[in-house]
Every structure is written in C-alpha cells, then in structure tokens.
Amino acid sequence: MEKDLSRSPALRQAGHLRIIPLGGLGEVGRNMMVLEYEGKILLIDMGFRMPEEDMPGVDYIIPNISYLKGKERNILALLITHGHYDHIGAIPYYLGQLGNPPLYAGNLAKAIILKRQEDFPNQPKLRIATLQDGKRFTLGPFGVEPFRQNHNITDNFGFLIQTPVGNIVHTSDFKFDPNPVNEPPTDFMRLKKIGDQKILFLMSDSTNAEEPGHSLSEEVIFENLEEIFKQAKGRVISATFASLINRVQQIITLSEKYGRHVALEGYSMKTNVEISRQFGYIKAKSGTILKTKDVLAYPDSKITVVGTGAQGEERAVLMRIVNGEHQHVRIQKGDTVIFSSSVIPGNERSVQFVKDQLYKQGANVFHYKMMDIHASGHANHDELKQMIELLRPKFLMPIHGQVSMLVNHAKLAQETGMPEHNILVAENGQIVTLSKTQAVIEKTKVPANYIMVDGLGVGDVGEVVLRDRQNLAKDGIFVIIMVVDRQSGKVKGSPDIISRGFIYLRESKELLKEVRKRTIGTVNRSTGAGGPINWVYVRDLVRNQISEFLFVKTQRRPMVLPVIIEV
C-alpha cells in the first residue's frame, strides 16, 4: 500500500503534511489520527470502540495500524487528548508493537492509562510525559501546545500543532460549559488568541453535530439531580459510566449536602474514583465513601449507591442488583434509581429490561428522557459554529463522528461562511494532503478495516469466525454423530443428533427420523463403491445435503456439523 502511495505525484512532493483518520466502525478519527510530515509521524489518541450487537463475543474494535508497520522508528510520540477508552483503550494492544514511542497525556488520562497497563504485564513499560495547559513542546517538525477543553471528564486537552505547512488544531471531544464541575469554564479569550495565530486546518468534534442549540451546562444537571435528592426517602441508586467522573462528583456532592454516605460499586467505578481522588478531580469528605458491606449499618435515607450499568450491561452493578445477584444490595420499595447517561444505540432493549425490573421491584426510576439529568460532553450546533468563528481556520475536517454527523458539521461550517471546497469530509483510512495553500483528499486509501479484539487476542477473530457466531446466534447448531464401519463404509446403528438453538428435538421426531434416514443413505451411497474412502468428501456431502433438507423444511440454516467415527 505504501509503495502505491509514494507513486502518487501529489505525495512525492516534499513539504506536504499527511493527515489520516483511523478507527472502528465508521467513526472518523475518533480512535486515532495520524499526522505525517516528510516521514516523521505524530499520533493523536489510540482508543477502541465497543462492538455492535451483531458481533457476538467480540470485546472491542481497535484501529487498523497496518499503515504504521515498518515506520515504527519514525513515530515521534503519541499525544492523548483525554482519558476516555475510545481515546486510550488500544494502547496496551499497540504501543509495544509500535516500538513503544513516548506518550503525552494529562494527569488523569496518564493515571488511567498506567492503571490499565497493569492488566497487561507483558507489555513494555510506558514512558508518559504530563501535559500542561499552554506548555509548548517540540517533537521533530511539530510544535505542540495543549489547551484545556471542557468535556465530561477533567484534564481534557485540544492541541495547537505548529507544522512546516501551517498551524493545525485538534479540538479533542469538547463542549463549551459556563459552569462545569471541578474545573474552570471555557476560556474563550484563549481560543480567540489561538485563532489569531492563523489556523490553516481545524479538526473538530462532530459527535453532536446533529443536535441543535447549545449543550446543557453541568449546572442544570446538578439542579435537576438535586430535585431528585430532595424528594428521595429511601436509598438513592445512581447508575452511570465509570468514565463520567464529573457526574460521579455531582452525586457525591449532593449526597454530602443531603446527609448521605456513598457506596461505590463495580471495579471500574472504584478504580476511576480512586485515581481521580488522588489528583483532586473528585472531592469527598472523609467518611463519605463507605464500603458496600457497611451499607446495611445505616438507615436507607442516609445511603447513596453509585455504580455502573446505566446501559443495561450484563455484568454491571445495576443488572446484578435487579437480578438479585448483588452481595449486599437488593431493590426495595421506596428506592430511587437514577440513570444518568443517555442510552447508546443498540442498548435500548437491555435498558428497558432493567427499567421494567426496577419498577416491578418498587423503585422510583428517573432517566434522561424524563428530565435533564444527563448532559452530553459534546458541542451542539451553536458551539461548533462558535469554535469555527473563534479559530477562523482556512480548512475544516469534521472528525469524531459517523458520516451523517460529519456532513451536518460541514453544513454548519458553511453557515459561518466557510466555502464548501475548504471543508473535507473524509473516511477512515483516507489521506488528507495538506500544503500551505491546499487541502486534498487523496484517492488512495490506507487499510482501515477494523480489527476485532476477542478476550486477550487481537485480530484472531476474522470475518469467518464472526459469520459463524452470527449464524450460531441466529439459527443454532445441528450436530450429527455417526459410527461408520471402516471396511464396508456402512453406517452402524442410528446416528446421534445434538441440536442447540435450532429446534426442540422432542417435538421434531419426524424431522429427525428423516435426517437419520437421509444421512445413512448419503453415507452408504458415497462409500459403497469400494476402494479407499475419502472421509472429508463424505462429511461435506452430508453437511450440504442435510443443510439443504433442513432449510427446505424449516427455512432456517443452522450450522450443520457431521462427525464421523470410524470403527
């Protein structure tokens, strides 16, 4: 692929910057961005994406880094915008492979990365420098200046990057918040000053480019949550993401205000809060945080439980509580349950299940559709336009979103007066070539198909494995075990049949009888000619014929596995 690219006349010219977005499942550049100038490479973020519902058994999708193979020595550094897993999650899988380049991350992101790295003892020791707001540093041809951006996790940085072709800005995930949690509000003067430095190219967050108006301030969320706390008589159980550190802080602050102790539940919740407390990003009075087993020692009105599971995740705290599998907490009448996060598409059914269970068990339930108890961490229309107006870039590349979001972001930019041909809507793997005067999307793509992580294995789940899993999930499995006489090639006795997820065997006696008859017939015919028997051929024949037969009878295609035992 690289050879093809170097033949492209546009790219052979020196003095061009290449910008390549990478990531999983069409979210452009969310998980990784590659910047390359005359062979020197700077990476921004290295995250993963959660799989879709139709990818059974796949844990994460990580970016394809084939483009970087053979270029390890030229990677100057990896810059991390913030500590969310879609920006740091792939580090343990890739950094070692890429020659362990130095990292630059904010305090909180650094601590989360180091903590997670403990789960991967075979990976090399990370070298992480701490980013400081406004503190510039040089990496080869790049000058990097981090600037603070509001999001829903503290220590989130955008980057002003000075390159030989001009200044470029990466916004990171961001929103403008006049009243954020535990950090100063957006510094508009600062952003304007960055804009004064003549920005050639802006890469900006598109996550909420389809949402009108301005994102909600965390202050509004706080007020609404307070209403719930005021009225709550029994325990308050709050479910959110472990990475929404700022939301967890709000719940802790309100608990203290209303005389409640807080029990943190779930491994990721506990670790994230512990790390954040070390840096003062979560503040709690001594005595506020309880061990869960001590929950029973206090009256219900004095207890808040903060856990994971607002997405209906199977192994999360809330699911274990409603299923009665939690060691110390059961739902009882009068409990108040708060879902403080929006529902990620694909999770609607499991969230509905959890909600129904909660109502059945007598809880009062509050979720984001009933009132504003969750704010996204991303800029809506007004803020996206304002960012463009503050930075005044010549070119814009919408990133961090699916095509529909990128295109809507592009439309907003045009409303601010940017000419259409200066806005580049690229796909993952596409190369944007930037010169002092031009920005072009090249026709050639670098490999950008996604890589699946399954347990601790990377990339060993291929398309075939995935298709098998989808078939198994949809139509089940049908195993035929037959004993065949090696000499005569005849089936001995009646074949055994095992089936899962396809048909209920007891109610399908006729069908099974027919399957047995056909199996015996097929084997006996195909082995009867004398001479050596080709067992692979016999097995394939049985598989094909029985699959066909089952499809005709049931309109379903279970995975058919014939097993031949020679005696």
Strands (E), 179-277: 199-205, 236-239, 261-264
Q: Name the 3-class secondary structure at 337.
A: strand
Neighbouring CB atoms inside 10 A of 459's CB total 13
Residue in 564, 382, 435 with CA at minimum distance from that of residue 168: 435
Query: 3-state DSSP helix/strand/coil percent for the chain, to nearest 5?
Result: 35, 25, 45
Select 145 or 173, whichever has its Cβ closest to Zn ion.
173
Select 151 or 469, whichever has its Cβ closest to Zn ion.
151
Q: Write down the catalytic residue from 86, 155, 177, 205.
A: 205
Q: Can you tell me the distance from the alpha carbon of 61 to that of 88, in angstroms, rounded to the nearest whole number?
A: 13
**How many alpha carbons fall within 13 Å on the CB side of residue 393?**
29
Q: Write down the catalytic residue from 82, 87, 378, 409.
A: 378
Residue with tokens 């509000």: 185
Determine if 173 is a binding residue for Zn ion (CB under 5 A): yes
* Selected range binding Zn ion among 42-50, 170-178, 286-294, 463-471, rule: CB under 5 A: 170-178
Taking each continuous run of H as one helix and of E as one strand, the counts in the chain are 16, 26
Least gap, CB of 87 to Zn ion (angstroms): 6
Phi, psi of 43 (to 5 degrees): -105, 145
Contact characters 44-83, Zn ion, x per CB under 5 A? ----------------------------------------
Select 311 or 336, whichever has its Cβ closest to Zn ion.
311
Least gap, CB of 178 to Zn ion (angstroms): 20
Determine if 335 is a binding residue for Zn ion (CB under 5 A): no
Contact characters 460-499, Zn ion, x per CB under 5 A? ----------------------------------------
Q: Can you tell me the distance from the alpha carbon of 491 to that of 238, in angstroms, rounded to the nearest whole number?
A: 62
Task: Give the Å distances, CA to CA, from 223 to 311, 373, 499.
Answer: 23, 9, 55
* Number of amino acids touching Zn ion (CB under 5 A): 2
Select 84 or 409, whichever has its Cβ closest to Zn ion.
84
* Selected range binding Zn ion among 55-63, 113-121, 129-137, 165-173, rule: CB under 5 A: 165-173
Q: Can you tell me the distance from the alpha carbon of 315 to that of 191, in angstroms, rounded to the nearest whole number?
A: 42
Round the CA-based radius of gyration of the chain to a whole number and report it: 28
* Selected range binding Zn ion among 8-16, 172-180, 352-360, 393-401, rule: CB under 5 A: 172-180
Contact characters 280-319, Zn ion, x per CB under 5 A? ----------------------------------------
Least gap, CB of 151 to Zn ion (angstroms): 6
Least gap, CB of 78 to Zn ion (angstroms): 17
* Selected range binding Zn ion among 67-75, 173-181, 461-469, 490-498, rule: CB under 5 A: 173-181
* Selected range binding Zn ion among 51-59, 167-175, 488-496, 521-529, rule: CB under 5 A: 167-175
Handedness of CA 70, 71, 77, 82 (dihedral sign): negative
Classify residue 42 by burial, with Cβ atoms within 10 Å: 0-12, 13-18, 19+: buried
Least gap, CB of 401 to Zn ion (angstroms): 12
Q: Can you tell me the distance from the alpha carbon of 190 to that of 147, in angstroms, rounded to the nearest whole number?
A: 9
Q: Can you tell me the distance from the alpha carbon of 456 to that of 93, in angstroms, rounded to the nearest whole number?
A: 9
Neighbouring CB atoms inside 10 A of 55's CB total 18
Least gap, CB of 139 to Zn ion (angstroms): 23
Least gap, CB of 364 to Zn ion (angstroms): 30
Q: Can you tell me the distance from the alpha carbon of 88 to that of 47, in angstroms, rounded to the nearest whole number?
A: 4
Sheet strands side by side (includes 430-434): 128-130, 103-105, 75-79, 40-44, 32-37, 17-22, 430-434, 439-445
Whether residue 45 lies in the annotated active site? no
Handedness of CA 258, 261, 267, 273 (dihedral sign): positive
Residue 420 and residue 414 in contact, taking contact as beta carbons nearer than 8 Å: yes
Least gap, CB of 91 to Zn ion (angstroms): 15
Residue 326 and residue 316 in contact, taking contact as beta carbons nearer than 8 Å: no
Residue 329 and residue 281 in contact, taking contact as beta carbons nearer than 8 Å: no
Contacts of Zn ion in 353-372 (CB under 5 A): none
Select 87 or 235, whichever has its Cβ closest to Zn ion.
87
Residue 471 and residue 557 in contact, taking contact as beta carbons nearer than 8 Å: yes
Residue with tokens 């890739």: 94
Least gap, CB of 243 to Zn ion (angstroms): 8
Select 150 or 250, whichever has its Cβ closest to Zn ion.
150
Select 173 or 475, whichever has its Cβ closest to Zn ion.
173
Determine if 374 is a binding residue for Zn ion (CB under 5 A): no
Classify residue 537 by burial, with Cβ atoms within 10 Å: 0-12, 13-18, 19+: exposed
Whether residue 485 lies in the annotated active site? no
Determine if 320 is a binding residue for Zn ion (CB under 5 A): no
- 310: which 2 tokens? 């607002």
Select 173 or 313, whichever has its Cβ closest to Zn ion.
173
Spell 373-390 as b/e; 16+ CB within 10 A means b. bbbbbbbbbebbbbbbeb
Select 217 or 304, whichever has its Cβ closest to Zn ion.
217
Least gap, CB of 81 to Zn ion (angstroms): 8
Determine if 84 is a binding residue for Zn ion (CB under 5 A): yes
Least gap, CB of 213 to Zn ion (angstroms): 20
Select 108 or 560, whichever has its Cβ closest to Zn ion.
108
Task: Give the binding site for Zn ion (CB under 5 A).
Answer: 84, 173
Residues that are catalytic = 205, 378
